[in-house]
Amino acid sequence: MRDLYRALRPLIFRLDPETAHNLAFWLGERACSWPRLPEPEHAPSLRRTAFGLDFPTPLGLAAGLDKGATLLPLWKSLGFGHVEIGTVTPRPQPGNPKPRLFRFPQAGLILNRMGFNSEGAEAVAARLRRRPAGLVVGGNLGKNKETPEALALDDYRAAYRLIAPGVDYIALNVSSPNTPGLRNLQAPAALEPLLAGMLDLRKEMGLERQPLLLKLAPDLAPEDLDAIVEVAAASGISGLIATNTTLDRGVVPEPLRTAVESKGAGGLSGVPLKAKARDVRKRILAALNGRLPLVACGGLGSAEDVRGALNDGAALAQIYSALIFEGPEFVRQIHVGLLERN
Q: Classify residue 14 as left (phi > 0), alpha (psi -120 to 50) or beta.
A: alpha
Distance (Å, whole) CA 55 – CA 59:
9
Catalytic residues: 176
Q: Is the pLDDT of residue 277 over 90?
A: yes
CA–CA separation, 51 and 54 (whole Å):
9
What mean pLDDT, rounded, does the chain reach? 96
pLDDT exceeding 90 applies to what percent of the chain? 93
Burial code (b: 16+ CB inside 10 Å, e: under 16) for 204-223 equals eeeeeebbbbbbbbbbbeee
**pLDDT tens profile 184-234:** 999 999 999 999 999 999 999 999 999 999 999 999 999 999 999 999 999
CA angle 233, 239, 240 (to 5 degrees): 95
Number of C-beta neighbours around residue 112 at 10 A: 24
| Percent of the residues in the chain that have a pLDDT greater than 70, as a whole number | 99
Of 23, 116, 128, the C-alpha closest to 73 is: 128
> How large is the average pLDDT for residues 98-116?
97
pLDDT of residue 249: 98
Give the pTM.
0.97
DSSP 103: E
pLDDT of residue 182: 97
Question: Which of 24-38, 76-90, 113-127, 297-311 is least confident?
Answer: 24-38
Rounded Cα gap, residues 170 and 211, in angstroms: 6
Amino acid type, 125? A
**Which residue, among 112, 114, 161, has the nearest Cα to 139 in the 3D structure?**
161
**pLDDT above 90: residue 3:** no
From residue 295, alpha-carbon distances to 45, 169, 259 in Å are 19, 13, 31
Higher-confidence residue: 341 or 41?
Answer: 41
Q: Which DSSP symbol is given to 122?
A: H
Local confidence band at 1 (pLDDT 50, 70, 90 cut-offs) = low
pLDDT at 2 (0 to 100): 67
DSSP 242-305: E---B--GGGS-HHHHHHHHHT-S-EEEEGGGHHHHHHHHHHHHHHHTTSS-EEEESS--SHHH
What does the pLDDT look like over 39-70, one tens digit per residue? 999 999 999 999 999 999 999 999 999 999 99
- In this model, does residue 274 exceed pLDDT 90? yes
Provide the pLDDT for residue 342.
63
Q: Is the pLDDT of residue 9 over 90?
A: no
Supply the pLDDT for residue 188: 97
Q: How far is Cα 55 from Cα 81, in angstroms, rounded to an integer?
A: 6
For 120-172, what is each residue's pLDDT tens digit? 999 999 999 999 999 999 999 999 999 999 999 999 999 999 999 999 999 99
In which band, very low, low, confident or very high, does the pLDDT at 5 lie, cut at 50, 70 and 90?
A: confident
pLDDT reported for residue 8: 79
d(CA 101, CA 118): 15
Q: What superfamily would CATH give domain 2-340?
A: Aldolase class I (3.20.20.70)
Question: Which of 30, 39, 48 is closest to 78 using CA atoms?
Answer: 39
* Residue extents of the structural domains in the chain: 2-340
